[in-house]
Structures are given as structure tokens and as C-alpha cells.
Amino acid sequence: MYKVDIYLAQSTASLSKDERWHGYVVACIKNGEEKTVNGFGHIFGTYHEATLRSLSDALDRLNQSCEVHIHTEDRFVLNMLGAQLEKWAGNNYLNARGEPIKHAELWEEVYVRTRGQLIVAEEGRHSYSEWLDTEMKRRER
């Protein structure tokens, strides 16, 4: 099974009302050499929504089952991946009160794209944090 690292970052300050940049780096070791792919996007949404969009886009690049290490500072998204996502999927993305969860469509994308993957959540800054931050700032101009 391949090991893949997904590094996520989102702009913490809104460009305007809930307008943010988000980015990711997907890295895997192939034939002893690290191969990386990155992507950036612009979203009108919350910090967590930007994290979910980046994660979904990064997961979309995987074409086989992998051990996926997800690196992000977004503790909420990481916690929900491990603690709630399976329950939400089984409950049509409704919360305990029977109401749709926030960003249900993105959670569903992430759920579908993580099926068959071994997911390991790693919270905090990572080796690509500074580079992703710099790239997002460059794109704001």
C-alpha cells in the first residue's frame, strides 16, 4: 500500500466577507523519490469549508488505495473525520437534531473519497506550511 501525505493550508484572514484562498500539496514516495502535486483555489466560505474543499480536491488525485496522512492545522475537520464522518454518512448528513450538517456536500465528497483509504490525521503546522502560506499570499495580489 502506498503512503501518501496530504498537506493542507487555508488563509486565516478573509480577503473580504468569508473570501479565502486554500491550497494543498499531495506527496508520495515513488521508486524512492518524493513526487508532489499541488493545487490552489479561491472560495467564498468559512475556514473549515476551505479545509474541506482542499481535502476533497487533494483526495480526488488519488487513484488507488493508500495510507493517507492528512496534515492540517484545522483541528475541527480532523476530529470530525475520525469521530463523526461515518455517523453522518449513515444518517444522510443530518445532525442529532435531524438538521443538515453544515457543508454536507463537502463532507459527503470527503467521505466518498476516503472509502478504501487508511486515514491518519496529523494536526499542526507541517513542512509545507510556510510555502503554502507564501503561495496563497502571492495569489492574493
Q: Where are the domains of the chain?
A: 2-140
Coil/strand/helix, residue 68: strand
Q: What is the pLDDT of residue 14?
A: 64
Mean pLDDT of 7-18: 79
Taking only the tens place, the pLDDT of each residue in 21-66 is 899 999 987 777 889 999 999 898 889 999 999 999 999 999 999 9
Q: Are 81 and 31 within 8 A, CB to CB? A: no
- As a CATH number, domain 2-140 is 3.30.420.10
Helices marked H in 9-128: 47-59, 75-83, 85-90, 104-114
Confidence of residue 140 (pLDDT cuts 50, 70, 90): confident
